[in-house]
Amino acid sequence: MSTSEADLLYSEVEEELRASVRALLADKCAPAGVLARVDGEAGPLTDTALWQDLCGLGVAGLPVPEALGGAGAGWREAAVVAEELGRAVAPVPFLGSAVLSTAALLAVGDSPTAAATLGRMASGEATVALAVPLSAPPGAAFPDTVRAAADGLSGTVTKVADATTADALLVPAVGTDGPGLYLADASEAVRTPLVTLDLTRPLVDVGLDRTPARPVVTGRAAEHALRTALRTGAALLSAEQLGVAEWALGTTVDYLKTRTQFGRPVGSFQAPKHRLADLWVSVSQARAVVRNAASTAGAGADDTEAEMAAALAQAFVSGVAVTAAEEAVQLHGGIGFTWEHPAHLYLKRAKSDAIALGTADRHRSALAGMVDLPAGAE
Amino acid sequence: MTTAPAGATIDAAGLRQRVADVVAAHDPATTDPAELLAARFDAGLAWVHFPEGEGGLGAPRALQSVVDAEFERLGATPAGREKLIIGLGMAAPTILAFGTPEQRRRYLKPLYVGEEVWCQLFSEPGAGSDLAALGTRAVRDGEEWVVDGQKVWTSLAHRARWAILVTRTDPDVPKHQGMTYFICDMRAPGVEVRPLRQLTGEAEFNEVYLTDVRIPDSQRLGAVGEGWRVAQTTLMNERVSIGGTAEPREGGLIGIAAGIWRSRPEARTPGLHDALMRLWVEAEAARLTKERLRQQLAIGQPGPEGSAAKLAFARLNQEIAGLEVELLGAEGLTYDDWTLRRPERVGMEARGAGYRYLRSRGNSIEGGTSEILRNIIAERVLGLPGDIRVDKDVAWKDLPK
Ligand SMILES: Cc1cc2nc3c(=O)[nH]c(=O)nc-3n(C[C@H](O)[C@H](O)[C@H](O)COP(=O)(O)OP(=O)(O)OC[C@H]3O[C@@H](n4cnc5c(N)ncnc54)[C@H](O)[C@@H]3O)c2cc1C
C-alpha cells in the first residue's frame, strides 16, 4: 500500500482564498439572510447574485486549466471554498456545477464540447447540473434510467442537486453505444421541485422525453468520468461538512460563554465543556481527513489512494458534521429548537450531506473491499 | 350508578367488577369517549388512589394497573389524548398533591375527560435549565395576584384553557425560596399567546406574555413561597410522562424502522443491519425498563428513576429517527411538509422520517435537558457532590442575569 503522505496543511494561497471567500460570505450570506431566503422573503432560494460574486473571485473554475478559462489551481483550493460555503450554508450551485459537473467534464479527456462548457462554467456564464440522484455513491453502477436514442434523451432522474437554476444538464444515459454523458439544455427538461430536508440545497426530479442532447463522451470513458465525478464530489462534500461542523462548534462555544444558568456561564460546567472538547477533537481529525481527500481528488478514476481517501472522508466526516450540528441544537437549548435560530439549517444540511454521495455505511463497505477486510466467510 | 362504600370493594376483583359495570353502562362502540371517561371518573376509576369524588376510591395506588388493563381489555381506552399530556401528566398529580378540595373538584374532572387542555408556563427566556432563576413577578393585591412577565417555549398554549404557572413573589430571598405556584386562566385579560415556530416547521410551542394578569388567590397551588417544592412534583411527573409510557414490543419509533427494513430489501446493508439490531435490542431493554418503572410507580411516587427513563427515551428516539432517515436513502433527502402549522398534538407516527428526526432533537431539551437529568442522577442517585453553587444564598434580585 502506498505510504506517500499528502500535504495536509493549508497553503498561504489557500488561506488567502479562504479569507476573501469568507469576507464575501460574511457580507452577503449571513445566516439571517439565508433564513429569509428559505422563508421566501428574499427572493428565490438559490442566490444567483452571490454566485456571480463568488465566480468573480474565480471559485467556479479553480481546478479548470487556464487554457480552458479556469484558474489552473486544483481541488485542494476548491475544497477550501467548499469549507467556507458549508460554514455559511450558502445556497449556491457550487457542489452541483463547480464540483460534480466540472469533475466529470475534466475527466472526459479531449472533447471540444467539454472544453467549451468548462470555460463557460468557470467564468460564471453558465451552471451545469450533473443529472444523478444526490444520494448516488461513487461505486454505483452506471445509471440506466435514461435512454439515449436518435430522437434525444428519455427517462427520469430523481433528486438532482442544483438543477433548479442550472442552464444545462449533464446526463448519464445508455444508448446503442453503451453508456454516455450527454449535455442537454436544462429548459428542455421537466424539473419538478421537491420538498427537501435540507432547506438550503434544492433538489428536483428531472423528466426527459425525447429531449435534444449532445453526446460528450461514450463508452468506458463515460463510466470513468462519472465515477471520477462522484468520487471527487464525495471528497469535496467532506470539505463542506467540515465547514458545517466548524460553524456548529464555534457558534456553540460562543453561546455557552455568554449564556448564564445557575449563576454562571453554561460553558463553565464540566459536562458541556467535555462535550465541546470531544467535538473539537473530532473536528480537528476531520480536518486532516478532508485535506487528505482534497489532495488526492484530482487523480484519475482508478487511483486507489483517491478512492480510499474519498471513502474515508465520507465514512468519517459526515458523522462528525451531524454530531456537531446535533450538539449545536442541543447545547443551545430551547432557542436551538426554534426556526429563528440558524442552527437547524446546519442540522438539515449535515443530515442530508450524510446521505449525499453515499452514506457512511456504504463508504465503509467500499473501504472494506479496498483494504481486504471482507465482511463474512467466503 | 350506585357507589358501594369504597372500602368494601377495594381489591382487584372488585375493581374489575366496577370496570365491567362502567363499560356495560357505556358501550365503548357507541358512547362518546368523553362520556365514557366521565363515567369512569365518577366511578373512581380515573386514579384509584385519589379520594372519592375526585376520580378515585382511596384505594392502593398499585391497583390502578388492574383498572387500566381491564379497560384496555374491554376496548374502552380512547386514543388521541396527546394534547392532554400536560394536564394528565403534570397538572393532575400536582393538583392532587397540593390542591385544596375545591381545586380538585374544579379542575380534575374536565382535565381527565379531555374538556380542558392544560399548558405549562414555566420556562422563560433567561430561565430554562435553571428554572428557579425565573423572574415573572406576582404581586399580591387583596384577594388577587397581579402577574407580569414573559414565558417561552410553551407547548400547546394556543389550545390551553388553563396553565400551571410558577412566579416570583419575593425577590429579596434566595431564588428557590421566593417562588409561588398558580393555576392561570389562559382566557384572562393580559394573557397573550404568540406562535413560536420550531425547527420542524410547525409552531407546537409559543411565547406567552403576561401583562397585569389578575389571578385570584383561590387559584394558588401550595403556600406562598413554596412554589419550588410544588414545581418539583410537577417536574418529576413530567419526566415520567415523557419517558415512561408503557408500550408493546416494537411500539414507538423502532417499529417504524423495523417496518422499513422488512419492506425494503434493496436498502439493506450489513452496517445498517448492525445499527438496526443494536437499536432494536436497546429499544426492548428500554421498554422493559419502562414497564418496570411503571410497576414501581404504581406503588409509589416517581423518584429519580423518571430521569433515567426520560434520558434513555430521548437518546433512543434520536438514534432510531436518525437511522430511519439513512435507511430511506435518497428518500431521506426529502421532507413531508414545512408549512407553519399549530398542531394539537405531537404525532411522531403521523409524519415522515425527516420530521421524526428533527422532532426527536427536542426530546433531549423539553422537560429538562439530558445534561440536567445526568446531573440529577449523579447527585441524587449516585450521591456525588453537587456542582459548586455560587447562587445558593444570594437574594434573587442580586443574581447575575
Ligand atoms: C419542544 C419543546 C417543548 C417545550 N415545552 C415547554 C413547555 O410546555 N413549558 C415550558 O415551561 N417549557 C417548555 N420547553 C422549554 C424547556 O423546558 C427548556 O428549553 C429546557 O429546560 C432548557 O432550557 P433553556 O432552553 O433555557 O436552555 P439552557 O438552560 O440555556 O441550556 C443550554 C444548554 O446548556 C446545558 N446546561 C445548562 N445548565 C447546565 C448544567 N448545570 N450542567 C450541564 N449542562 C447544562 C443544557 O443542557 C443545554 O444543553 C420546551 C422546549 C422544547 C425544545
Contact (Cβ atoms closer than 8 angstroms) between residue B198 and residue A339: yes
Residue A377 lies in a domain: no
CA distance A54 to A123: 10
Q: Are residues A78 and A194 in the same domain?
A: no
Q: Is A268 in the pocket of ligand 1 (CB under 6 A)?
A: no
Residue A264 lies in a domain: yes
Co-location of A116 and A152 in the same domain = no
d(CA B1, CA B40): 11
Q: How far is A59 from chain B (nearest CA, A)?
A: 26
The CA distance from B147 to the nearest CA of chain A, in Å, is: 23
Spot the catalytic one: B54, B202, B204, B238: B238
Please give the residue that has the higher pLDDT: either B379 or A23. A23
Q: Do the domain assignments include residue A7?
A: no
| Residue B382 to residue B377: CA distance in whole angstroms | 6
Q: Report the atom number in ligand 1 closest to the C-alpha of B130.
A: 29
Show Cβ contacts of residue B285 under 8 Å, excluding neighbours closer than 6 positions: none
**Cα(A187)–Cα(A26) distance, rounded to whole angstroms?**
33
A148, A95: one domain: no
Ligand 1 pocket mutation pick from A266, A273, A329, A339 by most atoms within 8 angstroms of CB: A266
Question: Which three cell numbers, joined as nine digits, stand for B235?
Answer: 417536574
**Nearest residue of A to residue B205, measured between CA atoms:** A338
DSSP state of A338: B
Report the atom number in ligand 1 closest to the C-alpha of B131. Answer: 21
| Residue at grid coordinates 401528566 | B89
What CA–CA distances, in Å, run from B356 to A297, B135, B282? Answer: 36, 34, 18
Distance CA(A348)–CA(B374), nearest Å, equals 27
Are A80 and A210 in a shared domain?
A: no
Residue-range definition of the domain harbouring residue A291: 222-371
Across the interface, whether the CB atoms of B329 and A271 are under 8 A apart is answered: no
Contacts of B126 in chain A (CB under 8 A): 260
Q: Are residues A264 and A367 in the same domain?
A: yes
State whether A337 and B374 contact (CB < 8 Å): no
| Beta strand pairing call for B162-168 and B118-121 | parallel
- Whether residue A340 lies inside any domain: the answer is yes
Across the interface, of B130, B272, B318, the residue whose CB is closest to A262 is B130
Partners of B196 in the beta sheet?
B205
Facing B326 at nearest CB: one of A329, A348, A359? A359
Q: Bridge partners of B163?
A: B119, B184
Q: Domain with A257 in it: what CATH number?
A: 1.20.140.10
Point out the least confidently predicted range of A62-76, B196-210, B299-313: B299-313
How far apart CA B313 and CA B307 sit, in angstroms, is 10
Residue A5 placed within a domain: no
**Does ligand 1 come within 6 angstroms of the Cβ of B128?**
yes
Confidence of residue B2 (pLDDT cuts 50, 70, 90): very low
Domain count across chain A: 3
Q: Between B10 and A175, whose confidence is greater?
A: A175
Residue B190 is predicted with a pLDDT of 98
Is residue A263 within 6 Å of ligand 1 at its C-beta?
no
| Secondary structure class of A290 (helix, strand, coil) | helix
Could you tell me the distance, in angstroms and rounded to a whole number, from the CA of residue A261 to the centre of ligand 1? 10
Are residues A234 and A213 both part of a single domain? no
The three-state DSSP-derived secondary structure of chain B is CCCCCHHHHCCHHHHHHHHHHHHHHCCCCCCCHHHHHHHHHHCCCCCCCCCECCCECCCCHHHHHHHHHHHHHCCCCCCCCHHHHHHHHHHHHHHHHHCCHHHHHHHHHHHHHCCCCEEEECCECCECCCHHHCCCEEEEECCEEEEEEEEEEEECCCCCCEEEEEEECCCCCECCCCEEEEEEECCCCCEEEEEECECCCCCCEEEEEEEEEEEEHHHECCCCCCHHHHHHHHHHHHHHHHHCCCCCCCCCHHHHHHHHHHHCHHHCCHHHHHHHHHHHHHHHHHHHHHHHHHHHHCCCCCCCHHHHHHHHHHHHHHHHHHHHHHHCHHHHHECCCCCCCCCCCCCCCCCCHHHHHHHHHHHHCCCCCHHHHHHHHHHHHCCCCCCCCCCCCCEHHHCCC
Q: Same domain, yes or no, for A230 and A330?
A: yes
In a domain, A121, yes or no: yes
Q: Look up B204 and say whether it is catalytic.
A: no
Same domain, A77 and A153: no
> Is residue A376 situated within a structural domain?
no
Residue B6 pLDDT > 60, yes or no? no
Q: In angstroms, rounded to a whole number, what is the distance separating the alpha carbons of residues B88 and B116?
A: 11
Q: Kindly list the distances between the CA atom of residue B34 and the CA atoms of A148, B31, B68, B75, B110, in Å, as whole numbers in the listed order.
A: 63, 8, 16, 15, 9
This model of the complex carries an ipTM of 0.88
Per-residue pLDDT of chain A (378 residues; tens, 9 = 90+): 444 678 899 999 999 999 999 999 999 999 999 999 999 998 899 999 999 999 999 999 999 999 999 999 999 999 999 999 999 999 999 999 999 999 999 999 889 999 999 999 999 999 999 999 999 999 999 999 999 999 999 999 999 999 999 999 999 999 998 999 999 999 999 999 999 999 999 999 999 999 999 999 999 999 999 999 999 999 999 999 999 999 999 999 999 999 999 999 999 999 999 999 999 999 999 999 999 999 999 887 778 999 999 999 999 999 999 999 999 999 999 999 999 999 999 999 999 999 999 999 999 999 999 989 988 765
Q: What is the CATH number of the domain that holds A63?
A: 1.10.540.10
Please, which residues have CB within 8 angstroms of residue A165's CB and are 6 or more apart in sequence? A44, A46, A48, A93, A127
Q: What is the pLDDT of residue B53?
A: 87
CA dihedral B143→B148→B153→B157, nearest 10 degrees, is: 50
In a domain, A1, yes or no: no
Does the structure show a pLDDT above 60 at B1? no
Q: Above 70 in pLDDT, residue B326?
A: yes
Whole-angstrom CA distances from A267 to A253, A262, B166, B367, B376 are 7, 12, 27, 21, 18
The alpha carbon of B397 and the centre of ligand 1 are apart by a number of angstroms equal to 22
CA angle, A59 then A65 then A67, to 5°: 120
Helix (H, G, I), strand (E, B) or coil at A175: strand
Does A228 lie in the same domain as A180? no
CATH class entry, domain B118-225: mainly beta
Which has the minimum average pLDDT: A198-207, A281-290, B92-101, B389-398? B389-398
CATH superfamily ID and name for B231-382: Butyryl-CoA Dehydrogenase, subunit A, domain 3 (1.20.140.10)
Ligand 1 pocket residue status of A272, Cβ below 6 Å: yes
What's the CATH number where A166 sits?
2.40.110.10
Pair A247, A310 in one domain: yes
**C-alpha cell of A136?**
448516488
Please report, for chain B, the start and end positions of each structural domain, with discontinuous segments joined by +: 13-79, 118-225, 231-382
| Closest residue of chain A to B375, computed from CA coordinates | A271
Q: Which helix (H) or strand (E) holds A210?
A: strand A203-211
Least confident segment among A105-109, B228-232, B292-296:
B292-296
